[in-house]
Structure 1
């Protein structure tokens, strides 16, 4: 059992983000679906964000499904109705190649009282996040929704649980949106919309925990006490499995990590899940060992890697297009409200070619970068190899340069996001084109 205080510094969080961002009775996920549909209502709502307090006004993406949205692979018909007093466009974090659903280049904002219908191709199983791009300065914050595309063939686990972590900040006792209120109070964090989240688990039960950092501006470090944590996927794509050191994970805003945990502690053991945002640690969830009979006589052997989702085994770096991208906010980046789809993209690449991009953050603050449309590899320093996982989101410390590579597989105009790690910082956008 570990009792040490989990207190990484903010620089420690950034260092972690630069490296990873990080049988009988088993549950079998649903098979792939065809012709699935999803109706979303963007509407005002409330959630309790303070113990014993009244609900705080937020904007929500409401459906007839409670919790995470789960679908099999295939085309997903989406119907969106906007009941908010502001335009809205959906942002599908991690879904590759969904040109018709791409915010601002494929989908225009839906005006108040308006509706939109489009199709999202769910080609790859994994853990994703749906949130909303709304005008900066909108008074209430917006809650996101976890989206799970089930594995096919199924991956056998006893429990498949989503932990969607979101941050909330207040001014004069009222929850405020990111991009506003530089003097907002320190964050309160929820898991699946709850201030106190717990899972009761049985001895030798295998858990698949899908951690999603739904925070708008904060990277988070997570420590799962008393258990080995085996990382299986990052940003929705299978990784070469590895055991997280000291049970610790680091996630950039918008990042996702799937981890397997085998519950082997004694009945009654409570294992806190501790979050650290660079300021102070706090317990956001708990795994509670039940007194029920064990699921099986002994823990399962280590899992093999998750099935491939079709991302290329190798990338042609020698024949790659080479591009440079500065995250300087004055270097042709603009807000979602001012984004013009007719503006020339930052660069163009032919479909089927590998693209290598050197991304530099010359700013005086860390910035989170997100690539739409494609997953990428984080290259080694000499471009002689890459890390054994795929990403769609990357943290860059001030003054840092990172190189990424991806296969330009999907034609279209795709967004790139850059946001400084500051609650009041605006979200900035540019685009690239695959032709």
Structure 2
């Protein structure tokens, strides 16, 4: 039977047989240059980062509201086109194309990553995804037909957020930021971006779900994501997801798809997360993320029976990273973990690892819950884990550390 595993400083691993994959929505293009002559762009298949998807977690919205006046309820009367056109004309001049060139020098080919960004203030600051700027210190920012040099102030790769500064665009209005905490499933939303270099493309749909979780290439698990069926494709990365008032409620970042294109399952980072991190990002400082240092699995009836565990829910600690916060606190992994990882056989596990069933006094049943709690806390914070060890309940204090791969560009 397929088992999903998690390691919080490595990639999520999955042995599911499903074909869906996470596609980050930047589009990759190779550009070749000869001396004094720009050779035509050769478009390759969009760069795909394969990160096995966990089963999405559903969550209740933080608030519920009536949708009686929402454009989502006007589709049948044909009024939605008017809403889309109004929002599009209202915001399009503040949305840009971002091009980051990496690799290659002189006559050698360089690779371009192309995505979207949008103005967030009157000082020329633009929000986008970290994977769009792709570790570069400068990028090309295009508004309409005019190109500017953008300075990457900071890039938080774990939350996939970046800020780019451009001088000389004070005349362009910033987009108003909304509140993702008030979103409800079924609410009407609009996405604008540059899918496959088709600039200023607009699509629309609804909020399909809230509080989704998604593992990133960094190994960090982003939680609280907005799921939408508004069609998103490579090049939409970093673009705004807007409500009917033209306010940004999310930043488009990825899709789940077996065909590397839109199948109606897209994800956006809630705009509230950007607002919370914005002071740090604007200062060009590194955003700190908490880390505990374990590899584990959700316990279900199958794992319980295979390892003869005393509970049917919780997080089974398969291994503990050496010198990690978990190791220093005394958490224990399974003594057969090395053999199980080497052979890929769960039967090699011995069932003697710790089981996490609580976090700071509240029950924990899944990896998604644990990562959400850790993501809300800060490095240096002391947390209390409720653990089952050899069938006995104990309390373990863990001082969270800094995520090993935390980095900030600029």
State which structure, 1 or 2, has the greater radius of gyration over its C-alpha atoms. 2
TM-score w.r.t. length of structure 2: 0.27
More strand per residue:
1
